[in-house]
Amino acid sequence: MKSLIQALTQIPGPSGYENEIRVAVRAEIETYADEIRVDALGNLIARKASSAATPSGKRIMLSAHMDEIGVIVTHIDENGFIRFSNLGGVYPRYSPAGRVRFLNGAAGVIDTEKITNLQHVPPINEMFIDVGASSRADCPVQVGDVAVFERAFSEMGERLVSKAMDDRVSVALLITALQRLQNSPHEIYFVFSVQEEVGIRGAATAAFGIEPDLGLAVDVTRTGDTPKSITMEVSLGKGPAIKVKDSGMIADPRVVNWMVERAQADEIPYQLEVLERGSTDARAIQLSRAGVPAGCISIPCRYVHSPSEMIDLGDVENALRLLLGLLQNSIEL
């Protein structure tokens, strides 16, 4: 999946502007799905019919979000400097000296107003983007234009680093699962969702329309394995994490046990995840209509919401093994 992850992370797709990444994903899955559609909000939904329908077969929704964090122009001054706001969780500490690329191709670099306290990280409203303009008139962008962070894909042994690993690594995983899935007693909906970074919006409308019996999100999660980091029992290279709880949802214990039992049966390394800040598409699936049993497979990721998010390729491959094992067998919760 390495080349696919690399290709997907380099495609711009901030929240609300996922068209280019949606086109790329559709090209990868077109010949593998029984039905493909795009809903009103922009979710790409691919249905894979059951190969051998059984009474225990379920309608399963899988969801990985296509959007990435970005910025949006709010004001341009007389000298062509741009003030901006965030699209999703843009952390001020990662922003100064960062480069951005607008959807119209214009490039920019982020800097800050004069810093008087070196121990203080300026907020976004004290930052600006320099696009090389000398006046408002020759600025190549306008108010409302959006951009994503620009950072090349890099390999460090089995570790892969790029912007937008959140959540293109999971998009790549779902694409590969759809391509490799041969036999399943379940009707499976592969949802490549939109606007997750600004409020888990796409998964909410998709789940309402699909009415699944069971839902699984695939997303990244933080780690606790760097020097003096947060206290968290998730590390790179120790397998996919099975979510128990995050700040937006408590995973259905039956779903957690089902995933743990499959991982143990297939001798797949796994970790248990309790994330104290952040949530995923599973939250929206769980709360859809009258409620849905839901859980999440998480890919450990260092430096989440930075332009240099790091994942371990082995964790992704083991997450794929786990997902295929779950989908190819009967489910009794």
Catalytic residues: 196
Interacting residues of 84 by C-beta distance below 8 A, sequence separation 6+ = 71, 72, 73, 74, 124, 127, 128, 129, 147
Interacting residues of 305 by C-beta distance below 8 A, sequence separation 6+ = 69, 88, 89, 90, 91, 94, 166
Is there a contact between 61 and 207 (Cβ–Cβ < 8 Å)? yes
Is there a contact between 240 and 297 (Cβ–Cβ < 8 Å)? yes
Give the orientation angle of helix 165-180 with respect to helix 313-328, to 10 degrees: 40
Give the orientation angle of helix 165-180 with respect to helix 2-9, to 10 degrees: 140
Is there a contact between 203 and 234 (Cβ–Cβ < 8 Å)? no
Please choose, from the candidates 65, 60, 64, 44, the residue with its C-alpha nearest in 3D space to the C-alpha of residue 293: 60
Is there a contact between 197 and 69 (Cβ–Cβ < 8 Å)? yes
Is there a contact between 293 and 214 (Cβ–Cβ < 8 Å)? yes
Is there a contact between 161 and 308 (Cβ–Cβ < 8 Å)? yes
**Rounded to an integer, what distance in angstroms lies between the CA atom of residue 131 and that of residue 236?**
36
Residue type, 87: L
Q: Is 296 helix (H, G, I), strand (E, B) or coil?
A: strand
Q: Kindly state the DSSP code that residue 14 receives in the 8-state scheme.
A: B
